[in-house]
Structure 1
Amino acid sequence: MSSLAVSSNSSGALSEAPSDLSSFVQPKMELKTRLESYTSLNPNDDTVHFLEMFFKFLPEDGKYHLSEDVMGCKTDASLRQLVSSLDTGLLRPIKANGGKTPAITPSPCFGVEDSIEELNSMDFKSVSRNKQYRLRNKCLSRDGQMCVISKAHNEDAHPPSDSLFAPLETAHIIPFSLGSFSGEEERLRTSIIWTNIHRYFPSLRSRMNFTLENVNEVENAMMLIPSLHTEFGQFHFALEATTTIHRYRLKTYKKFATINNHLLPANRIVTFTNNDTQYPLPHPILIETHTAIANILNATGRGELVERIQREQRDAEGVLAKDGSTDIGQILSCSRLSLLTDHGV
């Protein structure tokens, strides 16, 4: 994997989670105590619910870091800022998959800005779509020229005449857009997002050394038919780990298009099979990360919110009132253009 990694020993850098799993018992109680003292601004204030759901679905080492961050927020205003930072600096960019998202709210937590600056100063490059064809061929070979969920055959591989077949697409587990950027503004934005990813999903770095430069690795991709690719990318379904490695229980959410139900295994069990062992199967840690994000997006309602905003943006795109009454500020608030201003760059 990539050599790109942020040192935990840097001055002001974020702390590492303890390796002793017994240390993860206390964070839940600390988080609960802090949230019980929070005073809501109004009935629509979902700060407590958001943080409870975020904590619930994180891996254990990520829970430690979130508890640490919540305990570091001494005021209710800083707790709300933390929620906005997690929302705009992690959930929305992942869910939007390259689409426009609001400017990222700075984190109120100590050490975050130092970690962002350290990562941004490193020599990393944007991933390129030029390698997509090679990645596709590797995944097709490994996945047996089939969709890993529906088992539909690749229509370009001369499937048996009596078999289900369809065009297949290469689906990234961690979205390709998180490794792609252009210019210094998007580079900074990417550094912020990946600082958050490694903060709350530490195993990506500590056990895999997985960074933005690795999104085109074969371990981060699998073959799906187009409709399931769309649903997976929208986090409308996820793969939950079982006690058997590379065997998953398929979980669908409210927005999953039911017309696709007949494409799913009857028992909702998906087993990855390697048909070309020179290429590794999708990595369990990456699948676990996708599933955690899917659970958080759906439990907090942020997934539906992003989809609604994207629909409104598409409807309004390019439509400016001739009388000059269009609220340009509102449009820019959902674009990447406001990022530099918010961070004082």
Structure 2
Amino acid sequence: MAKRNRSASPSNTPRTQRAKRRLARASPPTAPPPTAPPPTAPPPTAPPPTAPPPTAPPPTAPPPTAPPPTAPPPTAPPPTAPPPTAPPPTAPPPTAPPPTAPPLTASPPTVPRGLSTLSTDTADSLTSLEKDARVRIEAYENQSLRDETLLKSGLNAFLTWLPEAGRTSLARDVLKTSSGRELYDVFMNLFTGLAAPMKSRSKAPSVVESPHSKRQEQVDTVAATLDQPERRDSSFAAQLQLRDNYRCVITGQLNTDQWEHEGEPGNVSHGPTEGAHIIPFAFASWPGVSGAPRDTSSTWTLLYKCFPALRRVLAVEEINTLRNGITLRDSVHTQFGKFTIALKPTDIENEYEVKTYKRYPPADIPAIPSDRHVRLLPNTEHEIPCPAILDAHWRMCEIFNASAMGDTIERHRRDWEELKGSGRAVVREDGTTDLASLLDIALWGQVSA
């Protein structure tokens, strides 16, 4: 039995034990590997996290580097601050226009002299209203009407040289027209009712009515204020001479009679001087004793519409006041009435620039002060020329010079003088008389009457 038991437990044999020991030596090394991998696996997994730490330092290193970029941002805002500073440069441009506005307000130096409605030397900036009016004028097509070739240059001259309120009023009249004929009537109303009377010697010519009912109502309103016509006053010239020290206010030449009275001083330039109306006497002269004709009412309506400042300083009964007169040498007086010389108001009170135009005689220019400026000294006893009235005369000079209206009026006047002296006004029995021509000339005859 014992024998069987030893054979039944072979594991107790030396061979079996050696095999077990070999197996045990072999298995432990093998078993740990499978078990080791799990522990070893975490280490490999740990290294990745450990690897990121080394990688994390780089991100941590960039943060030090990031601050430099963050430092530029503070520097970047300064560049961003300039942009806000750049807009201020953009703001100055809007501030630059205001410097341009002063030119438009440049004429208000006349405000102290009561000329708040006077504008600048020229219309430096046109309103959209005036621009639209010029477009309407340019679109006019000739209709074979009398003097219509003057329409465009004439209306544009008025729109350029009238004071601001006058320009606006005219622009509205132009834009209210609905046909070429109405536009022509607007022009002829100005031509016959303002331009022609300015060159008239004694009485105003016939006036073409405005096509606008509002203007016709204004004529009726003005007519109610016109009572008696004025008569020429001999004391007018005498008072002007006394106020102006018997000298031409432009050339400074002494009146010849006064020169003789003062003992004929050898170093004094002298010549015949006269008292001159600035706004012509014809504006206040009409036939009859009362009640101005409609033509005269139309003329004063246009005068006030185009030169609103005159409402406050001149009326029919004031045509012979000293504020509407100056003393001029006879030759200068003639040219002053032809609108070839003017006294343009300046920014200095009572100081004027002497302006001459192309038809002013060159031989007479040396008598004008070399600096082209004259100053009218205040006078405690006699009223000096009104700046608003001299301004209106100067602007009419510019209007005549910028268009052919002045030359046309002079031509009509010459034709009338020739007609009166030639006998051509007689209607021939043989039917050869040019009646249309005679009527055209006769219409303008009143200008030279």
What is the SS of the residue equivalent to 1:96?
coil
CA deviations over 1:283-342 (Å, ceiling 9, x no partner): 000000001111111211111111111112112214335744444553344446999xxx
Q: Which residue of 2 aligns with 1:180?
A: 285
1:49 matched residue in structure 2: 153
The CA distance in 1 between the partners of 2:443 and 2:143, in whole Å, is 28
- What are the equivalent positions in structure 2 for 1:89-238 lying under 5 Å apart? 89-98=193-202, 101=205, 103-129=206-232, 131=233, 133-157=234-258, 158-159=261-262, 160-162=264-266, 163-183=268-288, 187-205=293-311, 207-208=312-313, 210-238=314-342
Cα distance change on mapping 1:116 and 1:253 into 2, 3 Å: same
Tell me how far apart the structure 2 counterparts of residues 145 and 34 of structure 1 sit (CA, whole Å): 50
CA distance in 2, matches of 1:338, 1:112: 26
What per-residue deviation string (whole Å, max 9, x for no partner) do you get for residues 15-55 of structure 1? xxx98x9x98343233234335444558x744333211111
Asked if the contact 2:153/2:402 (under 8 Å) is kept, the reply is: no
Q: How many matched pairs?
A: 313
* 309 and 56 in structure 1: CA distance in 2 versus 1, 3 angstrom threshold: same
Instruction: Give, in angstroms, the shift of residue 146 of structure 1.
Output: 0.8
CA distance in 2, matches of 1:96, 1:299: 19
Q: SS of 2:213's equivalent? A: coil
Instruction: Please say if residues 219 and 282 of structure 1, whose CA atoms lie closer than 8 Å, have aligned partners that are also in contact.
Output: yes
**Whole-angstrom CA distance in 1 between matches of 2:396 and 2:179:** 27
- What letter is aligned with 2:134? K
Amino acid across the alignment from 1:60: E
Distance in 1, matches of 2:320 and 2:220, equals: 24
Whether the 8 Å CA contact 2:137–2:152 is kept in 1: the answer is yes
Identity of aligned residues (%): 27
Q: Does 1:243 align with 2:350?
A: no
Q: Equivalent residue of 1:240, what SS? A: strand
Written as runs of structure 1 = structure 2, the 5 A alignment for 1:249-260 is 249-260=353-364
The CA deviation string for residues 189-234 of structure 1, in whole angstroms up to 9 with x for no partner, is 21111111111111111x32x1222110000001111000000011
Q: Could you report, residue by residue, the CA deviation over 1:247-280 in whole angstroms, capped at 9, with x for unpaired residues?
A: 1111111111122112211121122124x42212
Q: Which runs of 5+ in 1 are unaligned?
A: 1-17, 340-345
1:81, 1:108 within 8 Å by CA — same for their partners in 2? yes
Distance change >3 Å, CA 279–CA 117, structure 1 → 2: same
The 1:179–1:336 alpha-carbon spacing in structure 2 relative to 1, beyond 3 Å, is: farther
CA distance in 2, matches of 1:153, 1:311: 33
- Alpha carbons 2:416, 2:442 under 8 Å: kept: no
Residues 1:34 and 2:136 are matched in the alignment: yes
Q: Deviations over 1:111-136 (max 9, x none)?
A: 1111212222335211111x2x3222
Higher mean alpha-carbon deviation, 179-188 vs 73-82, is at: 179-188
Q: State the structure with more CA Rg.
A: 2
| CA deviation after TM superposition for structure 1 residue 169, in Å | 0.4
The answer on whether the counterparts of 2:357 and 2:401 sit within 8 Å (CA) in structure 1 is yes
Specify whether residues 317 and 286 from structure 1 end up closer, same or farther in structure 2 by C-alpha distance, changes over 3 A only. same
Amino acid at match of 2:303: I
Aligned-partner Cα distance in 2 for 1:338–1:304 = 15
Structure number with higher relative contact order (C-alpha < 8 Å, ≥ 6 residues apart): 1
Whose helix fraction is larger, Structure 1's or Structure 2's? 2
Q: Secondary structure at the match of 1:170?
A: strand
TM-score w.r.t. the length of structure 1 is 0.82
Change (3 A) 1:89 1:122: same
Q: How far does the alpha carbon of each residue in 1:152-198 deviate from its partner, in whole angstroms, 9 at most, with x for none?
A: 11222224512111221001000011111113897222111111111
CA contact (8 A) 1:332 1:338 kept: no
| Cα RMSD, aligned residues only | 2.8
Structure 1 residues 313 and 148: alpha-carbon distance in aligned structure 2, compared to 1, 3 A threshold: same
Q: What amino acid sits opposite 1:194 in the alignment?
A: W
